[in-house]
């Protein structure tokens, strides 16, 4: 679980940082509505991108993206749901969500 002081990275900064660390991978962001307004078309787009080998990052306009990440993981039959966050002390970290 993210620490209470954990912040977020803007989508552009996140993809820039990921590109620097994963230069051989194709990366993109997909802006999705927060659960329960998550659209099937957005889930299908993410599934297609992942099947093509793209690192696809879902961007959620919510203070707590956990429910949306869990809904996406269920829809995509993912093994787990993760949240990427930024902690000023520890840097960028991945956290496993409970429902994933």
Q: Which residue shows structure tokens 């307004």?
A: 37
DSSP for 36-75 reads TS--HHHHHHHHHHHHTT-EEEEE--SS--HHHHHHHHHH
pLDDT digits (tens, 9 = 90+) for 8-42: 567 788 788 888 888 999 999 999 999 999 999 99
Specify the pTM. 0.78
CB 65 within 8 A of CB 74: no
- pLDDT per residue over 48-64, tens digit each? 999 999 999 999 988 88
For 72-99, what is each residue's pLDDT tens digit? 999 999 988 888 777 778 777 888 886 5
């Amino acid at each position: 679980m993210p620490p209470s002081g954990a912040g977020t990275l803007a989508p552009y900064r996140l993809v820039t940082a990921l590109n620097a660390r994963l230069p051989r991978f194709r990366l993109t962001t997909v802006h999705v509505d927060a659960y329960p307004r998550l659209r099937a078309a957005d889930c299908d787009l993410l599934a297609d991108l992942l099947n093509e080998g793209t690192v696809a990052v879902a961007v959620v306009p919510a203070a707590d993206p956990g429910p949306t990440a869990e809904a996406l993981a269920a829809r995509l039959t993912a093994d787990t749901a993760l949240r990427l966050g930024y902690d000023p002390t520890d840097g960028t970290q991945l956290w496993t969500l409970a429902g994933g």
